[in-house]
Amino acid sequence: MKRLWIVVTPALLAACAGMGGSKGTSEAAVPDADLGRLSQGQMGPVDEARQFLGSARDEQARAKLHVQEVQHEDQLAKADAQSAKADADRAAVQAKVANDSREPGQLEQARVMKQQSDARKRAADARADYAKKLTAARQTSLAAADQQVALGEARLERAKLIALQQGNVPAAGKYDMAKFDARVSDAQKSFDQALQKARGQESQAMAAQQAWNDAQRQAQAQAVPTGTPATPTGTGMQTGTGSSAPSDTAKPPGQ
């Protein structure tokens, strides 16, 4: 009779261990049917946990909306980049005309146009950087909001078991509180890490926004040469710096 040898590799052992760990986490849940023997007065821990979960889901919905809104800022940044390129092209044409004619007035106009187009490009680049960092901040805030919902779900399941134990419901005996505590602990750790990352991304977005505002002001100052009367609002050549900065940046959950 032939013998069948089964080779157990380290990878297979790790996979089996991982499956066992995920099973323990997935079992840390209490069906609502087990709460049927509790009175309304015994539902305090559950009601409190449900309130936390509801708030977390509200934060998650707002974070999703902010992710959608940031797409508009990216579109504005691209429009500014196109405008800045058009300014640079016009400045290049004027520089060629001035070099050909060597007329002092043309040379001065070429110098001013080049200076203005450079300032507008810096503003457009700064806005593009801000849009990029704002998008990242909004996405990490959404990730943190997702983790907060997961934490709320874990806390709710543990609260159900606590309520069963406090109510001396026999069904509580079939659950292992250690698994529920582990689920909450893991969810809390994941949320804390995600929140820390979201706050870091928010700080970067705010710094990028300030840099864009500074570059925009410089571009606007360059748009009117020294000694030239300012153009009335709503007339004259467009600066290509786009609209004013949004009043807010990405906010992590709970901010």
- Structural domain spans, the chain: 40-70+124-222
The Cα–Cα gap between 182 and 66 comes to: 32
Per DSSP, 180 falls in state H
Q: Lowest-confidence range among 26-30, 202-206, 221-225, 250-254? A: 250-254
CB atoms near residue 4 (< 10 Å): 5
Tell me the H-state helices in the chain: 10-26, 44-101, 104-166, 177-222
pLDDT grade for 28, boundaries at 50, 70 and 90:
confident
Tens-digit pLDDT profile for residues 65-121: 999 999 899 899 999 999 999 999 999 999 999 999 999 999 999 999 999 999 999
The model's pTM: 0.73
For all residues of the chain together, what is the average pLDDT? 83
Give the torsion sign (CA, 26, 32, 38, 43): positive
Distances (CA, A) of 118 to 69, 125, 196, 231: 29, 10, 37, 20
Per DSSP, 229 falls in state P
Q: Look at residue 238 and tell me whether its pLDDT is greater than 70.
A: no
What lies within 8 Å, CB to CB, of 224 at 6+ separation is: 230, 231
